[in-house]
Amino acid sequence: MSQSLPVIGDPVALIAGASHRRVRHDGRHRGTYVDDLGSGTSGSSVALAETRSGGDGLTVTEVTVRFGGILALDRVDMIARRGEISGLIGPNGAGKTTLFNCLTGLYRATSGRIRWNDVELLGMQPYQVAGHGISRTFQNLALFPRLTVRQNVIVGMHRVRRTDWVSNALRMPWVRKEEREIAARATAALDEVGLGDVADRPAAGLPYGTLKRVELARAVASEPSLLLLDEPAAGLSHSEVDELMDVVRLLRDRYDLTIVLVEHHMGLVMRLCDHLTVLNFGRTIATGSPAEVRSNPAVIEAYLGGGE
Ligand SMILES: Nc1ncnc2c1ncn2[C@@H]1O[C@H](COP(=O)(O)OP(=O)(O)OP(=O)(O)O)[C@@H](O)[C@H]1O
Ligand SMILES: [Mg+2]
Model confidence pLDDT, tens digit, residues 21-52 = 332 333 333 333 333 444 332 333 233 334 33
Tell me, in angstroms, the distance from the centre of ligand 1 to residue 166's CA.
41
Q: Is the pLDDT of residue 81 over 80?
A: yes
Q: CA-CA distance, 253 to 192, in Å (whole number)?
A: 11
Contact 261, 87 (CB under 8 A): yes
Q: 89 CB less than 6 Å from ligand 1? A: no
For the chain, what is the mean pLDDT? 82
Q: In what order do the strands lie in the sheet with 58-67?
A: 70-80, 58-67, 111-116, 119-120
Q: CA-CA distance, 70 to 47, in Å (whole number)?
A: 26
Residue-level pLDDT at 303: 85
Residue-level pLDDT at 7: 31
Tell me, in angstroms, the distance from the centre of ligand 2 to residue 178's CA.
36
Residue-level pLDDT at 167: 66
Residue-level pLDDT at 55: 55
Tell me, in angstroms, the distance from the centre of ligand 2 to residue 263's CA.
9
Nearest partner of 216 among 229, 203, 207, 204, judged by Cα: 229
Q: CA-CA distance, 142 to 212, in Å (whole number)?
A: 9
Q: 103 CB less than 6 Å from ligand 1? A: no
pTM, whole model, 2 decimals? 0.81
Burial (CB count <10 Å: 0-12, 13-18, 19+), residue 194: middle
What confidence category does residue 13 fall into, taking pLDDT thresholds of 50, 70 and 90?
very low
Tell me, in angstroms, the distance from the centre of ligand 1 to residue 262's CA.
13
Q: 17 CB less than 6 Å from ligand 1? A: no
Residue-level pLDDT at 179: 81
pLDDT tens for 279-291 read: 999 999 999 999 9
pLDDT tens for 108-163 read: 999 999 999 999 999 999 999 999 999 999 988 889 999 999 999 998 886 666 66
Contact 238, 270 (CB under 8 A): no
Residue-level pLDDT at 1: 39
Single-letter residue type at 71: L
What is the sign of the dihedral through the CA atoms of 291, 293, 296 and 300? negative
Q: 260 CB less than 6 Å from ligand 1? A: no
Q: CA-CA distance, 133 to 227, in Å (whole number)?
A: 8
Pairing of strands 258-262, 85-89: parallel
Measured from the Cα of 98, ligand 1's closest atom is: 18
Contact 58, 258 (CB under 8 A): yes
Q: 70 CB less than 6 Å from ligand 1? A: yes
Query: From the CB of residue 129, how many other CB atoms can be counted at a distance below 10 Å?
Result: 24
Nearest partner of 254 among 170, 185, 173, 203, judged by Cα: 185
Residue-level pLDDT at 125: 94
For domain 14-21+30-304, the CATH architecture is 3-Layer(aba) Sandwich (3.40)
Higher pLDDT, 75 or 8: 75
Tell me, in angstroms, the distance from the centre of ligand 1 to residue 295's CA.
26
Q: 67 CB less than 6 Å from ligand 1? A: yes
Residue-level pLDDT at 160: 64
38: left (phi over 0), alpha (psi -120 to 50) or beta: left
Q: What angle do CA 36, 257, 154 make, to 5 degrees?
A: 105
Contact 63, 273 (CB under 8 A): no
Tell me, in angstroms, the distance from the centre of ligand 2 to residue 19's CA.
9
pLDDT tens for 194-253 read: 999 999 999 999 999 999 999 999 999 988 999 999 999 999 999 999 999 999 999 999
Residue 89 dihedral angles phi and psi, to the nearest 5° = -125, 170
What confidence category does residue 271 fall into, taking pLDDT thresholds of 50, 70 and 90?
very high
Q: 20 CB less than 6 Å from ligand 1? A: yes
Q: State the alpha helices, DSSP H only, in the chain.
A: 11-16, 34-37, 96-103, 126-131, 149-155, 165-169, 173-192, 208-221, 238-255, 266-272, 290-294, 297-304
